[in-house]
């Protein structure tokens, strides 16, 4: 079965090939725009095609619709195959080199006669680029380094899972805040939109001393390469192979820059087109009428200047949100600040986090009033809960209280009843299996459908039964920060929400500092346009306090 990702890749390839062949840029852009749209579609193309609604996808017209249909029905695309015959396969690879776009790649091919990275490397070493117009010493050195990095697989060109990117970004922010005079430092880009994968990091800072900020930035540990440096913007490559952009701005422009660098690109193009129609101009410094800046300090200002209600970052994909904002009908998304609990954390056996105190402190910092420790439902469960219970803090500080709850985790129906002290059950779906029967006696504990993480994408994809399970038994579904391992990406969340499923966000922590990862889980829920009414904020009240002890 053809997946959206396959069609997406095909359109990207067509875009590249047309670009290399010197086709007009708007045609090239049309294929790339369509590819981006497909990436964030959230619904299988085959379903849309079956409804006859392909042309309703923004950026898909007659020609692209016909190509999608051809591929869906035959698994091939004649147009692509013809294009491939015109360009050697290695030429596309050349475009992955930093500083090499379609024009330069084409010159390598036509003028130098190389057909891929290996041949280019040989040509560089043989000095065949010397004296060629447009290739000075620095350009050649840049190529040499780029080729070496390409061979070593550290080109920073690949996307990584949202959570990994988030953790890198958090660490960067901490370091920069400690070492540079910044008044504000935020992450924009696809990370702020909570995209499931993130290519590079976009940092924005407000500072009165940009030079000092850039100096700190260029001295970050783990820096592999400085890709550009200027007065307002610098780009580096960090050791994990991730590219990081930093822009330093004045407060007057911060909202406009945040809006602009959060994207998505297609969302921004839409806004700018709208602005032109209103006689305005939008750039990263503000919204302008003639020379006068009419907005820019905050994002809300920018949207308001265009006659739009504020649009949450997570849904800025040009999938109709701009039209909705113009009509004042932006969906109200779940807010992290309303969350009062995290019911899925595991205490390690040793170390500082084996005790509840550090967890409680972090939880209070996040504004929680409740925290749920989960143990495996086995013969030791009651004993583990009993050991922790006396240390459970009930208050911290003068007013805030934190209630620590205990739950058990099990796969489907357990032969063991819940142990003494357990207040809820986290059910794990089994891999590839059908959902077990889960009779629900009236007095039973609240139950949630936890997620099972799998490294293997096939195992994730093969786990089909649990959706039916959640629907059949009306079980709230846990949403964690690793969609690539659970299969619960924003598209799935959106369709589950539409079918009435409720959600329980968790950080799935095994260390107390990981509680902060709830930001990622909530981001995914928001990207799935999940509203506050569909999220469980804490354990339902009325939980039976006394359980019959097992014997």
- Our CB check for DNA shows the closer of 100 and 325 to be 100
Cα distances (angstroms) measured from residue 292 to each of 251, 278, 288? 16, 14, 5
Which residues, other chains included, contact 304 with Cβ-Cβ below 8 Å and sequence gap of 6+? Answer: 295, 310
Residue 240 or residue 417: which is nearer to DNA going by CB?
240
Smallest gap, in angstroms, from Cβ of residue 172 to DNA?
16
- H or E stretch covering 197: strand 197-198
Q: What is the smallest separation between the CB atom of 80 and DNA, expressed in angstroms? A: 11
142 or 506: whose CB is closer to DNA? 142
The token pair at 229 is 């440096």
92: closest CA among 119, 115, 112? Answer: 115
Q: How many CA atoms lie within 13 A of 404 on its CB side?
A: 26
Place of tokens 């039973």: 444
Nearer to DNA, 82 or 437 (CB): 82
Measured from the CB atom, is 243 or 506 closer to DNA?
243
C-beta of 98 vs 528, nearer to DNA: 98
**Shortest distance, position 214 Cβ to DNA, whole Å:** 9
For the record, the structure tokens of 358 come out as 């550090």
Instruction: Return all residues near 78 (Cβ < 8 A) that are at least 6 apart.
Output: 70
Nearer to DNA, 58 or 500 (CB): 58
Tell me the closest approach of the beta carbon of residue 190 to DNA, in angstroms.
9
Binding residues for DNA (CB under 7 A) = 24, 26-27, 29-31, 34, 55, 58-65, 95, 97-105, 133-140, 142, 189, 200, 202, 228-233, 235, 243, 245, 261, 265, 268-269, 272-273, 275-277, 281-285
* Most distant CA atoms of the chain, gap in Å: 87
CB of residue 27 vs DNA: minimum separation in angstroms? 4
Smallest gap from Cβ 204 to DNA, in A, equals: 11
Report the nearest approach of DNA to the CB of residue 127 (Å).
Answer: 14
Closer by beta carbon to DNA, 99 or else 500: 99
C-alpha span between 517 and 454 (Å, rounded): 19
Length of the chain: 551
3-state DSSP assignment of residue 225? strand
Q: Which residues contact 488 (CB under 8 A, 6 or more apart)?
A: 451, 477, 479, 480, 524
Min dist. Cβ of residue 45 to DNA (A): 14
Write down the least CB distance from residue 359 to DNA, Å: 37
Cβ distance to DNA smaller for residue 102 or 435: 102
Alpha-carbon 50 to chain mean position: 29
Alpha carbon separation from 467 to 461, 477, 538 (Å, rounded): 12, 9, 22
Instruction: Give the Cα separation of 271 and 345 in Å (integer).
Output: 42
Taking the complex as a whole, the smallest distance from the CB of residue 65 to DNA amounts, in Å, to 6
CA–CA–CA angle 427, 450, 45 (5° rounding)? 125
Distances (CA, A) of 403 to 290, 384, 545: 57, 18, 14
Angle 195-520-460 (CA atoms, 0-180°, nearest 5)? 70
Q: What is the nearest approach in angstroms of DNA to the Cβ of residue 339?
A: 31
Query: Which two structure tokens, joined as six digits, stand for 101?
Result: 């776009």
Contact 524, 488 (CB under 8 A): yes
Cα(160)–Cα(77) distance, integer angstroms: 29
């Amino acid at each position: 079965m053809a997946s959206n990702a396959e069609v997406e890749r095909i359109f990207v390839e067509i875009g590249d090939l047309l670009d290399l062949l010197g086709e007009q840029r708007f045609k090239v852009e049309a294929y790339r725009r369509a590819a981006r749209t497909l990436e964030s579609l959230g619904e299988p193309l085959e379903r849309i095609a079956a409804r006859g609604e392909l042309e309703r996808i923004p950026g898909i017209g007659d020609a692209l619709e016909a190509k999608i249909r051809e591929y869906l029905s035959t698994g091939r695309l004649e147009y692509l195959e013809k294009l491939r015959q015109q360009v050697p396969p290695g030429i596309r690879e050349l475009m992955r080199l930093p500083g090499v776009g379609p024009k330069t790649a084409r010159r390598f091919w036509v003028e130098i006669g190389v057909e891929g990275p290996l041949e280019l490397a040989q040509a560089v070493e043989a000095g065949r680029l010397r004296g060629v117009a447009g290739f000075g010493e620095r350009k050649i050195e840049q190529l040499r380094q780029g080729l070496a990095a390409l061979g070593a697989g550290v080109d920073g060109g690949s996307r990584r899972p949202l959570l990994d990117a988030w953790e890198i970004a958090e660490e960067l922010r901490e370091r920069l805040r400690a070492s540079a005079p910044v008044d504000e430092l935020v992450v924009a880009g696809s990370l702020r939109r909570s995209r499931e994968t993130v290519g590079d990091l976009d940092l924005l800072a407000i500072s009165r001393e940009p030079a000092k900020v850039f100096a700190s930035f260029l001295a970050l540990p783990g820096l592999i390469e400085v890709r550009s440096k200027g007065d307002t913007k610098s780009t580096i490559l960090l050791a994990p192979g991730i590219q990081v952009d930093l822009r330093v701005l004045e407060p007057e422009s911060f909202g406009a820059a945040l809006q602009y660098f959060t994207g998505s690109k297609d969302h921004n193009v839409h806004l700018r087109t709208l602005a032109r129609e209103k006689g305005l101009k939008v750039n990263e410094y503000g919204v302008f009428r003639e020379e006068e800046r009419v907005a820019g300090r905050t994002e809300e200002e920018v949207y308001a200047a265009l006659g739009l209600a504020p649009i949450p970052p997570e849904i800025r994909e040009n999938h109709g949100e701009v039209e909705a904002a113009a009509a004042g009908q932006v969906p109200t998304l779940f807010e992290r600040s309303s969350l009062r609990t995290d019911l899925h954390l595991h205490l390690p056996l040793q170390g500082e986090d084996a005790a509840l105190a550090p967890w409680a402190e972090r939880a209070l910092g996040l504004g929680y009033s409740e925290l749920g420790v989960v143990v495996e439902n086995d013969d030791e469960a009651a004993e583990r809960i009993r050991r922790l219970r006396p240390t459970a803090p009930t208050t911290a500080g003068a007013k805030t209280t934190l209630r620590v709850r205990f739950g058990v985790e099990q796969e489907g129906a357990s032969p063991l009843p819940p142990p003494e002290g357990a207040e809820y059950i986290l059910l794990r779906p089994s891999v590839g299996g059908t959902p077990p029967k889960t009779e629900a006696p009236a007095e039973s504990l609240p139950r949630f459908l936890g997620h099972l993480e799998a490294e293997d994408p096939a195992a994730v994809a093969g786990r089909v039964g649990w959706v039916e399970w959640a629907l059949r038994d009306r079980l709230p579904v846990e949403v964690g920060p690793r969609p690539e391992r659970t299969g619960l990406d924003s598209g799935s969340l959106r369709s589950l929400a539409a079918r009435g499923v409720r959600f329980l966000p968790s950080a799935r922590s095994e260390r107390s500092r990981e509680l902060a990862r709830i930001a990622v889980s909530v981001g995914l829920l928001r990207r799935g346009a999940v509203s506050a009414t569909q999220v469980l904020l804490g354990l339902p009240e009325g939980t039976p306090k006394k359980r019959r002890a097992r014997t």
